[in-house]
């Protein structure tokens, strides 16, 4: 939970006894060392796709922090089951993002991998869409990406290293009825990704997007079975995707080895929409 004492898990403690090992030079001492100690932050990392991403990063030896917004029960269960510390704030709140990133830096170390995954839907046809539904989705699914990147980019630029992965959506690529708000936010993420990638490339920071298709999570469970059957019929692979299948793609983009890939969008959609 946010503010919990997790100082014993500070990754630097694994380095302090290594001769000559400092925060500044630890990236040069070998393949495993390149990952051990890097801090990864996954927004919305306590459920669904984000939880799978957080676990995949933990299994790859990153020091992981997962954030969430309101579902304490799910977050506490996730933390107990995985040992991944969870932090609670609203990613749509810029001051909360800055404070949360500082809190994670103080407990786990400076954030070097940021996965902007938190997202919501508030679906309605445009003629029935309220200003509140529009604003909620734009702020949570798009402005939050600015808030979080703004909080981590100065530190990444300073150390000359960073990996940012923004979770967009197939519906930001192709549009979807009832989702003008969501499609606009998710398409906005793709432009944001390219612009920040250009700004950051010379600083050792890559910025990429993932565009999942329909993945079996709570978000998709909210869709009626009838509509879901229609959607699955449009997926060439013939099924919904799994959160771990998205997580593997994020893990790759987060790795040191993906340093020549930036500004790209990786689709993970079972062939439903080919770009
Ligand atoms: N599922 C799909 O088929 C699909 C397809 C394409 C793209 N995506 C995208 O993938 C991402 C994850 O989707 P999902 O299906 O895994 O969603 P999910 O199961 O509904 O989980 C959403 C996560 O985001 C957190 N969150 C929501 N609003 C937040 C806020 N304002 N501040 C901080 N955290 C917040 C939630 O926290 P709480 O638990 O506290 O609510 C939860 O941890 C989203 O960006 C979504 O748009 C999903």
What is the per-residue pLDDT for 222? 82
Of 86, 119, 120, the one to substitute when testing ligand 1's pocket (max ligand atoms within 8 A of C-beta) is 119
**pLDDT, averaged in runs of 10, over the chain (275 residues):** 37 32 30 67 98 98 98 98 98 98 97 98 98 98 99 98 98 97 99 99 98 93 89 96 98 98 98 96
Whether the CB of 122 sits within 6 Å of ligand 1: no
Query: Ligand 1 mean position to 125 CA, how many Å?
Result: 21
| SS3 assignment, position 230 | helix
Whether the CB of 47 sits within 6 Å of ligand 1: yes
What is the per-residue pLDDT for 265? 98
CATH fold of the domain at 7-268: Rossmann fold (3.40.50)
The token duo for 134 is: 């529009």
**E-assigned strands of 100-202?**
111-116, 162-167
What is the per-residue pLDDT for 35? 63
What is the per-residue pLDDT for 219? 84
Query: Ligand 1 mean position to 274 CA, how many Å?
Result: 23
Q: Is the pTM of this model over 0.75?
A: yes
Question: Could you give the strand order of the β-sheet that contains 39-42, starting from the edge strand earlier in sequence?
Answer: 86-88, 63-68, 39-42, 111-116, 162-167, 205-212, 265-268
**E-assigned strands of the chain?**
39-42, 63-68, 86-88, 111-116, 162-167, 205-212, 265-268
CA distance to 44, 122, 124, 174, per residue, from 185 (Å) = 16, 12, 15, 13
Whether the CB of 116 sits within 6 Å of ligand 1: no
Query: Ligand 1 mean position to 76 CA, how many Å?
Result: 16
182 carries an active-site annotation: yes
Of 1, 48, 64, 228, the one to substitute when testing ligand 1's pocket (max ligand atoms within 8 A of C-beta) is 48
Q: Which residue's CA lies nearest to atom 31 of ligand 1? A: 90
Give the residues across from 241 on adjacent strands. 215
**Domain coordinates in residue numbering, the chain:** 7-268
The token duo for 84 is: 């991944």
| CA 115 – CA 109 distance, rounded (Å) | 16
Task: Indicate the burial class of 60 (C-beta count within 10 angstroms; 0-12, 13-18, 19 or more).
Answer: middle
| CA 168 – CA 185 distance, rounded (Å) | 8
């Amino acid at each position: 939970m946010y503010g919990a004492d997790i100082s014993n898990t500070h990754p630097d403690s694994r380095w302090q006894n290594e001769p000559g090992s400092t925060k500044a030079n630890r990236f040069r001492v070998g393949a495993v060392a390149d990952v051990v100690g890097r801090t990864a932050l996954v927004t919305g990392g306590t459920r669904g796709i984000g939880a799978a991403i957080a676990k995949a990063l933990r299994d790859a030896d990153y020091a992981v922090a997962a954030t969430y917004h309101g579902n304490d029960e799910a977050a506490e269960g996730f933390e107990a089951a995985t040992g991944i510390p969870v932090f609670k704030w609203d990613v749509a709140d810029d001051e909360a993002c800055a404070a949360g990133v500082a809190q994670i830096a103080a407990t786990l170390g400076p954030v070097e991998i940021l996965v902007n995954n938190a997202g919501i839907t508030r679906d309605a046809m445009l003629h029935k869409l309220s200003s509140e539904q529009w604003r909620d989705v734009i702020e949570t699914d798009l402005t939050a990406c600015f808030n979080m990147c703004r909080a981590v980019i100065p530190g990444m630029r300073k150390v000359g290293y960073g990996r940012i992965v923004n979770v967009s959506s197939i519906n930001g690529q192709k549009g979807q009825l009832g989702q003008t708000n969501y499609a606009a936010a998710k398409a906005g993420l793709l432009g944001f990704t390219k612009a920040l990638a250009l700004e950051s490339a010379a600083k050792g920071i890559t910025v990429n997007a993932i565009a999942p298709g329909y993945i079996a999570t709570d978000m998709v469970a909210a869709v009626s079975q009838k509509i879901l059957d229609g959607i699955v019929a449009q997926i060439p692979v013939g099924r919904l995707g799994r959160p771990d299948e998205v997580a593997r793609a994020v893990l790759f983009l987060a790795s040191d080895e993906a340093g020549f890939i930036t500004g790209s969008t990786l689709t993970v959609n079972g062939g439903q929409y080919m770009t």
